[in-house]
Structure 1
Amino acid sequence: MRGSAAVIGGGVGGLAVANGLLRAGWTVTVFERAGRLPPSGTGLGIWPSALRALDRLGVGPAARERGRAQPDGAMRRPDGSVIATLDVERIRRRHGEGVLLLSRPALLGLLAEALPVGTVRFDAAVADPAALVDGYDVVVGADGIGSATRAAMFGDRYPLRYSGMTAWRGTVPLDVPAGGETWGRGRKFGVTPQGPGVTNWYAAVAAPAGYRPPEGDLVALRRWFGDWHDPLPAVLERIEAGGVLHHDVFFLPALPSYVRGRLVLLGDAAHAMTPDLGQGACQALIDAVVLAEALAAAPDVVSALARYDGMRRGPTRRMAAMAVRAGRLAQVRRGTGVRDAALRLALAFGPPG
């Protein structure tokens, strides 16, 4: 089947589904409210299943060329002792390749470059997604955690939920040999190599929604984490006040469907999850490929969207639930020995591929 699609949102999921549909012969318009693609951003871990999705979109080789292989990492305590390790070689043996580290701007760039000029309309916010249905065969809501498309489908029946954690993130001009997370009592700090001379960092603290440290973000971060093991003090010293992003962490409760009529959700619009498993962008890529292939193969839109919903709602709901459980472990202030045992068990059982 061929047709026309409006894609609301020019993020990872939106650009990916646009690529998939165009490769299947569809006519696609992407409506992006920003004036351009973001010039900067933190890194993403692209797991093997998401790399295979990029291959099916024809951009896998470019992603591997622009990214770098993730080295082994570890989860540690503030004194540097190891709780558990992430064995990337085991992932490679199980799935055929390891995890690729790629910055968000690089991923968005390669997806955008694969689209014909004019496919993405910038400065094009969509206030009423349902109004596009008359002009397109399918309207895809790839408009993120605050999705207007989801609101058009369900109203306010599924409000976002606060995870209990508030988070900070950014990049610093520093090389670290490997990534990893350090878990203290109700807080954690993570680093990931992004590229030569650049490291992603992130921090999360259990706090009430809307919490803002009275002394300012950077002072608080250095107070909370400055005496933790190397290289965290060096990372903290290189953080500039203007380079800190701070936001509360929310997630979306499970939806009864990702489809209503010819409106369909993907990515964070459908299943916004906490970042604890590093799977948000990966699941959006897989959503995009499954949706595009369903629309290409099915005889009509209704059956295609039903197939997509049936294939993706269950797996993404399970992934989101796993992320919430992992996030709750990070909020533990007492009984950290039990928490650490749970972390070791989770990594021994095997991370998502």
Structure 2
Amino acid sequence: MAETGRAIVIGAGIGGLAAAAALHQKGWAVTVLERTPALRPVGAALSLAPNALRALDVLGIGDEIRGLAAWQGDGGLRTPGGRWLSRSDAEAAAARFGGPLVLLPRTTLVDRLAALLPPGTVRTGTPAALADPGDRDRPARVGADGDELEAELVVGADGVNSRVRATLFPAHPGAVYAGFTTWRVLIPVPGAEFAPHETWGRGRIWGTQPLADGRVYAYGAAMVPAGQRAPDDEKAELLRRYGDWHHPVPAVLAAIRPEDVLRHDVHHLARPLPAYHAGRTALLGDAAHAMPPTLGQGGNLAIEDAVVLAHHGADLAAYTADRLPRTTAIARRAVRVARLNMAGSRAVVAVRNTVVTALSQAGPAFLLRGFDGVADWRPPYASGRQHAGKP
């Protein structure tokens, strides 16, 4: 197969845009096809761990994104009554994994990735379908808005309900409900001062995180049957579920308007795919390895996928060999964490909280070990721009 040529990326989310930028950097002629009429990312904010930031170094924007880090002190894990189960140390985490954790609006990253592409690369309002994945002797074919396009490489970056994945692996059962729904908001909260935290209750969690632009990113998750919606509005639902939790949760809820709340049921790939490619077509991000958000790694791994795919280029078997073991292991870990932090049994919650408290007394390094092998990942090739903390 050709080492470069024409590449078509289906989906203009974070993973798709990162892949397009990485492939463009490697000399591919890239077209991105996005079905929505504009680049409107789903979700309010995104956390980027050092592994994703090192992948963004490859694209030349890692330092710029690091500059948006807002978390400089301690945060941690709490109970709904406000008791600290564990405290986290931003400096210890940065020292262990080689950089900070950056929380930023998804729109900021989408805009920055799109700016790396030549004008006209992204075609919005263009639904696309994989017509033929191609093989060594023929290009892949994509149907888009009445046209049929050929390419030496097609990238399916079309999310958890990927149509490209269904075409490549029709026998795979696809995404299944993870057992819980999520709410997310990104709002100003005047006068709110707090340490960033995640709070674990019985069958529900809450997180409140400050952003560098002064806004607050807050999220909740609860074990509920799939497809449910509030009988009135989702702000009212949040008040019912979290209104009596510790400060600053009531202040955040008071600042929310009903239209600020995004609610989505969580789906994941409970059965791993046999490969992340077929023919000349590759999958990345949620299309390849959708997982619960409990490790905050979904978007991070999509960015990793993007630079690794561009590194291997047309050698998609090497891409699968590189990415499938890592992402499958992290997805399984995310499922285990979801079972822990979304536990609904009073007895299990009591044991969980006792164990977390005991482990935290051993110091932040003990708890940070849970991200060993995740946040310390490095890309297979270096960027031309190295940030100061990177060896």
The structure with the greater share of residues assigned to helix is: 1
Partner of 2:333: 322
* 8 Å CA contact retained: 2:46, 2:299: yes
2:158 matched to 1:143?
yes
Partner of 1:52: 54
Q: Which amino acid aligns with 2:353?
A: D
Partner of 1:195: 212
Structure 1: runs of 5+ lacking an equivalent: 296-300
Decide which of 256, 276, 281 is 1:263's aligned counterpart: 281
* 8 Å CA contact retained: 2:284, 2:306: yes
The verdict on how the C-alpha distance between 1:327 and 1:55 changes in structure 2, with shifts beyond 3 A counting, is same
* 8 Å CA contact retained: 2:41, 2:110: no
Residue 211 of structure 2: SS of its match in structure 1?
Answer: strand
Partner of 2:369: 349
* 8 Å CA contact retained: 1:176, 1:193: no
The verdict on how the C-alpha distance between 1:343 and 1:69 changes in structure 2, with shifts beyond 3 A counting, is same
Structure 2: runs of 5+ lacking an equivalent: 134-138, 142-149, 360-365, 376-391
Q: Distance in 2 between matches of 1:69 and 1:133?
A: 45
Displacement of 1:130: 3.0
Q: Which amino acid aligns with 1:201?
A: A
Displacement of 1:70: 5.7
Q: Distance in 1 between matches of 2:234 and 2:14?
A: 28
Decide which of 183, 186, 193 is 1:168's aligned counterpart: 183
The verdict on how the C-alpha distance between 1:141 and 1:68 changes in structure 2, with shifts beyond 3 A counting, is same
Displacement of 1:349: 2.8
Partner of 2:144: none
The verdict on how the C-alpha distance between 1:342 and 1:141 changes in structure 2, with shifts beyond 3 A counting, is farther
Residue 155 of structure 1: SS of its match in structure 2?
Answer: coil
Indicate the larger mover: 137-146 or 246-255: 246-255
* 8 Å CA contact retained: 1:74, 1:85: yes
The verdict on how the C-alpha distance between 1:39 and 1:95 changes in structure 2, with shifts beyond 3 A counting, is closer
The verdict on how the C-alpha distance between 1:5 and 1:217 changes in structure 2, with shifts beyond 3 A counting, is same
Partner of 2:63: 61
Q: Distance in 2 between matches of 1:284 and 1:277?
A: 14
Indicate the larger mover: 228-237 or 119-128: 119-128
2:241 matched to 1:213?
no
Displacement of 1:86: 2.5
State how 1:149-164 maps to structure 2 within 5 Å.
149-155=164-170, 157-164=172-179
The verdict on how the C-alpha distance between 1:293 and 1:324 changes in structure 2, with shifts beyond 3 A counting, is same
2:244 matched to 1:227?
yes
Q: Distance in 1 between matches of 2:155 and 2:300?
A: 18
**Root-mean-square deviation over aligned CA pairs:** 1.9
1:25-73 deviation per Cα after TM superposition (whole angstroms, max 9, x unaligned): 1111111112222289522111111101000111213223445446432
* 8 Å CA contact retained: 2:69, 2:101: no
Decide which of 41, 44, 52 is 1:42's aligned counterpart: 44
Partner of 1:337: 350
Q: Which amino acid aligns with 1:265?
A: L
* 8 Å CA contact retained: 2:43, 2:184: no
The verdict on how the C-alpha distance between 1:2 and 1:145 changes in structure 2, with shifts beyond 3 A counting, is same
Q: With structure 2 as the length reference, what TM-score do the two structures score?
A: 0.84
Displacement of 1:156: 5.1
Partner of 2:269: 252
Decide which of 278, 282, 294 is 2:296's aligned counterpart: 278
Residue 117 of structure 1: SS of its match in structure 2?
Answer: coil
* 8 Å CA contact retained: 2:161, 2:174: no
Partner of 1:80: 82
Q: Which amino acid aligns with 2:367?
A: L
Displacement of 1:214: 3.2
Residue 217 of structure 2: SS of its match in structure 1?
Answer: strand
Q: Which amino acid aligns with 2:16?
A: G
Number of equivalent positions = 346
Residue 127 of structure 1: SS of its match in structure 2?
Answer: strand
Q: Distance in 2 between matches of 1:40 and 1:138?
A: 26
Q: Which amino acid aligns with 2:166?
A: A
